[in-house]
Structure 1
Amino acid sequence: MAKLSEDLRAGIRFFAFYLANGTLDLELLDGIDYRPALLDSGSTLEMVFTIYTNVLDVDEDGLVDDGHAQYRVAQWLRRYCDPSYVVEPPFEEWETRLASP
């Protein structure tokens, strides 16, 4: 069975750190403490990781470019915490599609 690349494991680890630390995309989320929203219900955190993993770019060598994935998560969190925020471009269905077990 194949293992996740070291770069992918590091990307997920850093994403989780920034998310939990309240430092995910400081520019877009300036002044918004989204962390309590992550505890509102399991589905909030579930959607955060769904968007991150659906949008995440991993090349054939296992190298990760997750800047866009983190930004899309930040947009989703901003909209969740601030209903007046307009996500541009709007989310496509594949970005928010939950994986089946």
Structure 2
Amino acid sequence: MEDDPVTHLPTDVRAALRVFAFYLGNGTLDVDLLEGIDYRAHLFEFGSDLEMVFAIFANVLEVDDRGQTLNDGDAQYRAAQWIRERCDPGYQVEPPFEVWETELHGP
């Protein structure tokens, strides 16, 4: 039997993206790491920064063979680290981002 072609993102992935977008837009993405930093104005003023936040989240997010997300908290944290680095020049991302984490895909 052949695998069915994927026509939609798995429900768990869609839910992870929705929750991530909610926290991001609400200003509550990783409140410990981003406490006191109002990053929303910065992200929404410069579209490429918002693009990178979603790219990092999507690149880090892992999904099992059933479509269940395995690390949405880690993906949120890595995106939050990038935001913190952009808004706080004194912040050092640990571990540093790898190329695959910040790769932009598509057109």
Common fold by TM > 0.5: yes
Please give the secondary structure, in 1, of the residue aligned with 2:45.
Answer: coil
Match of 2:85 in 1: 79
Confirm or deny that 1:48 pairs with 2:46: no
Match of 1:92 in 2: 98
Percent identity among equivalent residues? Answer: 61
Match of 1:37 in 2: 42
Query: What letter is aligned with 2:65?
Result: E
Please give the secondary structure, in 2, of the residue aligned with 1:98.
Answer: coil
* RMSD, aligned CA: 0.9
CA deviation string 1:38-73 (max 9, x = no partner): 122110110001100000011111001311110000
Structure 2 unpaired stretches of 5+? none
Aligned pair count reads: 101
CA deviation string 1:16-50 (max 9, x = no partner): 00000000001101111110111221101100011
Distance 2:35 2:46 in 1: 23
Query: What letter is aligned with 1:11?
Result: A
Please give the secondary structure, in 2, of the residue aligned with 1:58.
Answer: coil
Moved over 4 A (4+): none
Length-normalised TM-score, structure 2:
0.90
Length-normalised TM-score, structure 1:
0.96
CA deviation string 1:5-25 (max 9, x = no partner): 111111100000000000000
Match of 2:64 in 1: 59
Structure 1 unpaired stretches of 5+? none
